[in-house]
Amino acid sequence: MTYAVGLLLDAGIVFASDTRTNAGVDHVSTFKKMTVFEVPGERVIVLMGSGNLAITQSAVSQLHAWNQAAPKTAVAKSRANRAISRAGSMFEAARIVGAALREVHALDGEHLKAHGADFNAMFILGGQIGDEAPRLFQIYAAGNFIEAGKDTPYFQIGETKYGKPIIDRIVRPDTSLTVAAKCTLISFDSTMRSNVSVAMPLDVLIYERDSLKVGHYRRIPRNDPYMTAISEGWSKGILAAFEALPDPDWPVAPSESARKPARRRR
Amino acid sequence: MTYAVGLLLDAGIVFASDTRTNAGVDHVSTFKKMTVFEVPGERVIVLMGSGNLAITQSAVSQLHAWNQAAPKTAVAKSRANRAISRAGSMFEAARIVGAALREVHALDGEHLKAHGADFNAMFILGGQIGDEAPRLFQIYAAGNFIEAGKDTPYFQIGETKYGKPIIDRIVRPDTSLTVAAKCTLISFDSTMRSNVSVAMPLDVLIYERDSLKVGHYRRIPRNDPYMTAISEGWSKGILAAFEALPDPDWPVAPSESARKPARRRR
């Protein structure tokens, strides 16, 4: 499986993705699922994929191919419209990613169906182009997409459930990049604890608004000291928070209620 | 949807289920999903269902019908083998629940298929009969089942993911009934916070080992003072635990790293 998350904040965007892929439990590998299109001073565009790796890789390869096609010949000129590094806006970039997925679907869709496989793919796309504000999109297998806003300033793809509650509790548009990055790692810690098909190393990229360059990219390896420290600290904090909660004052069972009279009965 | 959990402990069994059902978001109702077969001094058997309510209700009605069939005539005698209140062991009780599901499948399975609906149902069955130790089972739509043991002393059905991490962190076979009940409520709080199709009121039943009667049954309504107290306490505890974690000392973004030099670089 995969877990990837993008958080759109007033201060910029935090991206993170794991690297585990598996085709059955006996075929587990490590693949980078984060692709960066950067033109310093002009644009930073980050793409993270989940689903069938053959589909998402093909779509990314298609994006690179369109990007590299020099706009010289007539054919190349029409294709140049699909160069993500020349897209005029993030909306246009999202359409280009959708077009890449549709290109893969046109080539592979029927064949996957013939083998009983779904056309299963999803992307998170975020970044900033020129004067436009940073934007974040979630792109579906059909090539259509939704955009994050103030109400829901983040997208998750892949194994989303275990890591969602902590993001819902912590992240607001005005959360700092540092706190958002920490929250993202806790979200991954929760996910990796409960689903072995999401695993280290992680790729984390922090984009600061209006910087128009990659502020910080880090591959967090297995046994990274900071990740280990917050994972252990989080475990201890959760247990302490649980223990601090009052016990129910129900007469839980006859003998327990006899030993410890209920303070309050309802 | 549904969320239900059963925890098999050295001290007994904790059962809890929500009451929300929905057939589309415009058709939301409250139904009890917990059924108790109790013969005080002899047996306590608790059944909780998830999935298609028409299937689980039919299976429970079938169990009641088998139970009530007096073993007088030849036909009734053969049916008496399927009376859960006369089952000789929890294993036999689990087989009877499986048989009830198969009876419903025989009647409804083809018709559901004709309407493109899955035969979607799952039960948690637990309790104690006579001298046998308390036992806990998860019963699948096909009528087959698995039994909880020391390694995994609990089963969840329905919306299982949001409420799983806290159970994994807290519950061991030697956990007390009181702490297990508290953990169960936190597990429900996390689930209800993230999935609106799981909702109050909750049914909680606590069975104390060898008591052979229902130790404590409680319907926890919306705005229950204890539930509200631990839900709020848990939120505060989680936030405090998060804030206590060290921030990453990465140069998160150029300007941040300039303002706050990294203490440690890797």
Residue B191 structure tokens: 């689930």
Q: Which of A68-72, A85-89, A101-105, A213-217 has the lowest mean pLDDT?
A: A68-72
Whether B215 sits inside 8 A of A165 (CB atoms) is: no
Q: Is the ipTM of this complex over 0.90?
A: no
The residues pairing with A204 across neighbouring beta strands, listed in sequence order, are: A16, A218
Q: Confirm if A171 and A183 have CB atoms less than 8 A apart.
A: yes
Q: What is the mean pLDDT of residues B45-51?
A: 97
Q: Confirm if A20 and A1 have CB atoms less than 8 A apart.
A: yes
Q: CA-to-CA distance for B125 and B34, rounded, in angstroms?
A: 10
- DSSP state at residue A222: T
Q: What is the mean pLDDT of residues A10-34?
A: 90
Tell me the residue length of chain B: 266
Which three-class secondary structure state does DSSP give residue B192?
helix
The 10s digit of each residue's pLDDT in B107-140 is 999 999 999 999 999 999 999 999 999 999 999 9
Q: Confirm if A198 and A191 have CB atoms less than 8 A apart.
A: yes
pLDDT at A73: 61
Cβ-based neighbour number of residue B68 at 10 Å = 10
Which three-class secondary structure state does DSSP give residue A265?
coil
Whether B249 sits inside 8 A of A226 (CB atoms) is: yes
pLDDT grade for A201, boundaries at 50, 70 and 90: very high
The 10s digit of each residue's pLDDT in B67-99 is 988 666 656 556 567 999 999 999 999 999 999
pLDDT at B113: 95
- DSSP state at residue B85: G
Q: Confirm if B202 and A209 have CB atoms less than 8 A apart.
A: no
A258 touches chain B (CB under 8 A): no
- Which alpha helices (H) appear in chain B, and where do they start and end? 53-68, 74-80, 90-114, 164-170, 177-194, 225-244, 254-259
Is the confidence at residue A199, as pLDDT, over 60? yes
The type of residue at B167 is I
Q: CA-to-CA distance for A59 and A55, rounded, in angstroms?
A: 6
Is the confidence at residue A261, as pLDDT, over 70? no
Q: Which residue of B has its CA nearest to A219?
A: B266
Residue B104 structure tokens: 């419903």
Picking from B169, B187, B171, the residue whose alpha carbon sits closest to that of residue B227 is: B187
Q: Which residue do the tokens 């900033």 mark?
A: A128
Residues from chain A that touch B252, judged by Cβ atoms under 8 A, are 177-178, 181, 206, 208, 215-216
Q: How far is A241 from chain B (nearest CA, A)?
A: 5
The 10s digit of each residue's pLDDT in B95-104 is 999 999 999 9
pLDDT at B215: 87
Calculated CA dihedral for residues B33, B39, B41, B46, nearest 10 degrees? -20
Residue A201 structure tokens: 């190393």
Residues from chain A that touch B177, judged by Cβ atoms under 8 A, are 252-253, 256
Q: Confirm if A12 and A212 have CB atoms less than 8 A apart.
A: no
Between chain A and chain B, how many beta carbons pairs sit less than 8 Å apart? 166
In whole numbers, what is the pLDDT of chain A averaged over residues?
91
Q: What is the mean pLDDT of residues A211-221?
A: 94
- DSSP state at residue A86: G
pLDDT at A24: 79
The 10s digit of each residue's pLDDT in B203-217 is 999 999 999 999 899
Whether B252 sits inside 8 A of A178 (CB atoms) is: yes
In whole numbers, what is the pLDDT of chain B averaged over residues?
91
Residues from chain A that touch B234, judged by Cβ atoms under 8 A, are 241-242, 245
Q: What is the mean pLDDT of residues A244-252?
A: 86
The 10s digit of each residue's pLDDT in B143-162 is 999 999 999 999 999 999 99
Q: Confirm if B126 and B8 have CB atoms less than 8 A apart.
A: yes
A221 touches chain B (CB under 8 A): no
Residues from chain B that touch A168, judged by Cβ atoms under 8 A, are 193-194
Whether B186 sits inside 8 A of A235 (CB atoms) is: no
> Who among B206, B249, B254 is closest to A252 (CB)?
B206
Residue B29 structure tokens: 């109702």
Q: CA-to-CA distance for A204 and B41, rounded, in angstroms?
A: 59
Q: How far is B18 from chain A (nearest CA, A)?
A: 18
Is the confidence at residue A173, as pLDDT, over 60? yes
Mutate to test the interface with A, among B162, B212, B234, B238 (most CBs of A within 10 A): B238
pLDDT at A266: 40
Whether B182 sits inside 8 A of A237 (CB atoms) is: no
Domains of chain B and any CATH numbers = 3-222 (3.60.20.10)
Q: Confirm if B88 and B132 have CB atoms less than 8 A apart.
A: no
Q: What are phi and psi of B2, to 5 degrees?
A: -155, 150
The 10s digit of each residue's pLDDT in A75-126 is 655 656 799 999 999 999 999 999 999 999 999 999 999 999 999 999 999 9
pLDDT at B259: 42
> Who among B179, B218, B245 is closest to A230 (CB)?
B245
